[in-house]
Amino acid sequence: MAALAEGAVDAKQMAVASQWQLLWWAFKRHRLAMVGLVVVVALYIVAAIPGFFAVNDPARQNARAAFHPPQTIHFFDTDEGFAFRPYFHPYALRRDPVSLAAVYVEDTSRKIPLEIFGKGYEYNLFGLFPTDRHMFASSDARQPLFLLGADRLGRCVYSRIMQGAQISLSLGLVGVFLSLTIGVVLGGISGYFGGRLDFGIQRVIEFILSLPSIPIWLALAAAMPQDWPATTQYFMITVILSLTGWAQLARVVRGRFLSLRTEEFVVAARLDGASEGRVIFRHMLPSFMSHIIASITLAIPAMILAETSLSFLGLGLQPPTISWGVLLREAQNIRSIATAPWLFAPGAAVVVAVMALNFLGDGLRDAADPYNK
C-alpha cells in the first residue's frame, strides 16, 4: 500500500496489522477526509450538548429584538492595554425619521463583557443533568448576544441552530441505523440462501428502487396527522426515510454475500460445524464491514438533506420542534431575503455538515478499497 511506499509503516508492521489498522493508515493519507472527521466530531459534540454551546434560550421570544442583526464578538480590549477580555456592543432600537422603519444602531460607547463558561438559561446536560453553564454568556441578562441575529419573533438564530443540530444530525444517524439493519438482514438472507428467497427479496428491492424518492417522501409525510406530538413526528419521519433508503444497501450486501459464500474460509467454517449465524456474523460480515461503514457515512448526508427538504416544505417536522429544515422555513418570504439574510444561516450549517460527511465517507471508501494505491 502507499503507506508502506511513503515509509510511514514498515513491512513488519504491515504483515501483522489488522484490517482496521490498515484501514486507518490508508484513511490518514486522505487530508480532506481527516478535515471531515474533525468537523463531523465537532458537529456531533454540539448535537450531544447543544444547550452548552447556545447563548440564549432557543425558544424564548423577544418582541423588541425582531430581526435583530448579528453582533460581533471583540476578543481584545484595547482601552486599558491589550488584554484578552471578550465583549460585544449592544444595539439600540431606533425609528428611521424618513421611512419610519425600525432600525438597530450599534452603541459603541457601551461594552457588555462575555463570561467564558458563564451562567445563562437553564437546560439539561445530555438531557439528564440540569445546569445553567454555557461556553460563553452575556454578563448582563438584559442585553442578550445575538451572534447570528434574530428571527421575526426575536429568537436567537445561533442558539436555534445549535439546538436544531441535535434533531437533524441524530435523525440522520437513527435513520441510517434502521436502513442498515433492514438492508443487511434482507441483503444477507438474499445473498446467502439464494433461491426463492433471493428472487422475492430482489423483486421487492427493484420495486422500491423504481419509485421516485421525493414524491414518496411527500406522500408519506403528508399522511401524518399534524396534531401528533414532536417525539412521534420525529419517529415517523425517521421511519419514512428508512423505509426508502435500505434497498441500495441491501443490493450491495447481497453482492458481497454472493461472492463470499464460496470462499475457502466460509467453506472451512461450515465444515468445522459452525452454525449459519456464526458463519454470517463472525466470518462474512467482518470481511466487508469497512465497506458498510463507508456506505453508512455517505448515506447520512442524504438523510439530513431529506429531513431538511421535508421540513422546509412544511411536510416534515413542525414547530415548536427545532431542526435545520424547520429553521429554514423562516427564510421563505421576500422580507427575509431582503432585510434578514442571516436567516439563511441554518442552510450554511446543512452545507457544512453534508460536505464534512461526504469528505469522511469518500475517505473511508477509498481506504476500504483494496485496489486503491
The DSSP result for 62-96, as a single string, is: -GGGTTPPP-PPEEEE-BTBSEEEEEE--EEEEE-
Quickly list H helices, the chain: 2-5, 11-16, 19-28, 31-48, 50-53, 157-193, 195-210, 213-222, 230-243, 247-260, 264-271, 276-278, 289-312, 324-328, 334-339, 345-368
Amino acid 4: pLDDT? 43
d(CA 150, CA 104): 12
Please report the pLDDT score of residue 237 as a whole number: 79
- The alpha carbon torsion through 111, 123, 162, 145 (nearest 10 deg) reads -10
Which three three-digit cell numbers place residue 137?
454568556
In tens digits, the chain (373 residues) has pLDDT values of: 444 444 455 666 666 666 677 778 788 888 898 999 999 999 999 999 999 999 998 988 888 888 889 998 888 877 766 778 888 989 888 877 777 677 888 888 888 888 888 888 888 888 788 888 898 888 888 888 999 989 888 899 999 999 999 888 888 788 888 888 888 888 888 888 888 888 999 898 888 888 887 777 777 777 777 777 777 777 787 787 787 778 888 888 888 888 888 788 888 888 888 887 788 878 787 777 777 777 777 788 888 887 787 777 777 777 788 888 888 887 777 767 777 888 888 889 989 998 998 888 888 877 776 555 5
pLDDT score recorded for residue 8: 52
Shortest CA distance to 162 belongs to which of 353, 312, 368, 291?
Answer: 353
CB of 250 closer than 8 Å to CB of 187:
yes
Lookup: cell for 174: 437513527
Cα–Cα nearest to 59, from 71, 67, 51: 51
Q: Over 343-364, what HEC string results?
A: HHHHHHHHHHHHHHHHHHHHHH
- CA distances, 245 to each of 9, 152, 166 (Å): 39, 36, 21
Q: For residues 311 and 323, is the Cβ–Cβ distance under 8 A?
A: yes
DSSP 321: S
Q: How many CB atoms lie within 10 A of CB 298?
A: 17
Residues 6+ apart with CB under 8 A from 57: 121, 156, 159
Entry pTM: 0.81
* 3-class DSSP state of 156: strand
